[in-house]
Every structure is written in C-alpha cells, then in structure tokens.
Amino acid sequence: MKLRKYFALTRAGIIESLHFKLGMFVMVIGNLLYLILVYFLWRSIYASAGGGSVNGMTFTDTLIYLVLATALFNFMEMYTVWEIGRNIQSGKIVLDLLKPMSYRRYLFWSYSGGFVTQFFATFLPTFIAVTVLTHGAVPLGINLLWFALSVVLAVMINYSIDFIVGTICLFTESIWGINIMKQVIVLLLSGATIPLAFFPDSLRKIVDCLPFQSIYNAPLTILLQADPTPAEVLPTVAVQLLWAVGLTVVSSLFWKCSLRQITVNGG
C-alpha cells in the first residue's frame, strides 16, 4: 500500500518524460556524437601509445568503460540541484514540504519515473549494443549481479550528494554556480570522463579517499571483471555501502538542520 503512492509519482514522471519526444531524440543524437568523439579520441591516443594496453586497460576496455559511463550518466543525472534550487526560488518548496512524505523521498520518487524511462531508452540499448558490437568483450556472468547492486548504491550516493548540494541552495541564490561546481567535480573525480586508471598515482590516492569514485568507477570496474570472486568485489561494494549509508544520513541531517535554521530566520 505504501509503495503505491510512490509508484503514482513514478507513473506521472514517465508520462511527463514521454511528452518530450524530440528532446529524447536529440539526447540520443547528442550521446551518439559524444561517443563518436570518444571513440576517435581514444583510438588516436592508443595509436600514439603504440597499441596494446595503457595503464592496464585495453582500447576496448576503455571504450566500454566510457560508453557505459555516459549511459550511466544519463540514467543518474536527474538535475536534482536545479530542481531544488528552482523550487526554493519560486516558493514551490512550501507546497512540497506539505506533502505527506519527507521532501528528500518525495523528490527522489518524483524523479524515479525518469530513471525508468532513461533505463529503457538509453542504458539498456547502449548496454546491448556494446555487448553485441564488442563480440563478448563485456563478460556476462556473476559480475552483472554485482554490477546491478553497485549501480543501486551508486544511485543512492549520487542522489545524496546532489541533495546535499541542493540544500546549499537554501542559503545562496547562486544555483548555476553551485550546480556547475558539483557537476565538474563529480564527473572528473568519479572517473566518468576519464577512467581513474589513467590518473597519476598521487591524484589517484586522493580520489580513492573521496566518495565520487563510488559513483562511476566502482560499478564500471566491477562490470569489466570476468567472473569475479566475492573477495575481489566485496571491498569495492563495502566502500560503496559505507558511503551510501553515511551520505544518506548526512544529507538528511543537513537538510533538517538547514530547514530549521531557515524557518527560524524566516528566510
């Protein structure tokens, strides 16, 4: 029964995103162009490196990694910060706060419709295309299950980070500035634009201590491992789990405290 109210939001989200038919078409074209660029760029890089593997990744590995990172990005990027910021500026947030569920959850489930459409419209086709085109370079085995689990955790971490950054919008009017900072940091340090394997060691050490690598690098690294034993995967997933729980708690608390602060000061 409780899930039904969440599913109602999911359904509304699906209808809404289908209305944007040309938007979807353009998004597919845009991704295609991006992937073409990625393909040729890395082909040149590998060509000048004399072929073979660079930093432990072959050309195919890198390509699969980056293609799926793009697909994951489309799937996970929900423009949460924009939405929160806009709702705060327009005052719509007051209405949302009156809804009989926590704002954090309300927003998440409102967007879950987008998750569903994006999953079927971009991620799944991309995944199938990559699997077919690379003639089995993507290992299909137990790693898929671990990957699915890892993606769920990644979604939670990503959403929590977005929500924390969105909460900052309660204090400042600069939605664009905050959002762009978040976006470039997450995309670079999570390994979404360049696999972390290519990072210089010193930088890599810092990045490993941050939650961002759990969003893209963790699930994609797991996916590229053929028949991993639990011992190989568990450390990665455990780190993800820690971040997911930790950031969920932090983001909820931060929101609550901020809201109290704001209502007390009548901002």
Q: Is 37 in the site for other proteins (CB under 8 A)?
A: yes
**Does residue 220 contact residue 144 with C-beta atoms inside 8 Å?**
no
What does the angle CA 74 – CA 76 – CA 80 come to, to the nearest 5 degrees?
Answer: 110
Q: Which is nearer to other proteins, 27 or 259 (CB)?
A: 27
For other proteins, the closer CB: 4 or 21: 21
Among 5, 8, 20, 210, binds other proteins (CB under 8 A): 20
Biggest alpha carbon–alpha carbon distance for the chain: 63
121 residue type, one letter: A
| x-marked contacts with other proteins along 49-88 as a string, rule CB under 8 A | x----x----------------------------------
Interaction between residue 105 and other proteins (CB under 8 A) = no
Q: Give the orientation angle of helix 103-118 with respect to helix 230-265, to 10 degrees.
A: 130
Q: Does 200 bind other proteins (CB under 8 A)?
A: yes
Residue type, 160: S
CB of 195 to other proteins, least distance (A): 10
Q: How many CA atoms lie within 13 A of 223 on its CB side?
A: 25
Considering the complex, what minimum distance in angstroms separates the CB of residue 187 from other proteins? 8
Q: Does residue 125 interact with other proteins by CB under 8 A?
A: no
3-state SS class at 199: coil
23 binds other proteins (CB under 8 A): yes
Question: What CA–CA distance (Å, rounded) separates 41 from 46?
Answer: 9
Distance CA 183, CA 196 (A): 17
Select 22 or 209, whichever has its Cβ closest to other proteins: 22
Q: How far apart are CA 182 and CA 203, in angstroms?
A: 18
* DSSP summary character for residue 54: B
Note whether 29 binds other proteins by CB under 8 A. yes
Give, in degrees to the nearest 5, the angle at Cα 248 between 209 and 70.
65
Q: Considering the complex, what minimum distance in angstroms separates the CB of residue 144 from other proteins? A: 29
> Which of 15-23, 94-102, 158-166, 245-253 is the region at the interface with other proteins (rule: CB under 8 A)?
15-23
Query: Scanning the structure block, which residue is given the tokens 């327009």?
Result: 90
Per-residue contact flags (x/-) with other proteins for residues 172 to 191, judged by CB under 8 A: xxx-xxxxxx--xx-xx---
Q: Which residues bind other proteins (CB under 8 A)?
A: 11, 14-15, 18-24, 26-27, 29-30, 33-34, 36-37, 40-41, 43-45, 47-49, 54, 172-174, 176-181, 184-185, 187-188, 193-194, 198-200, 203
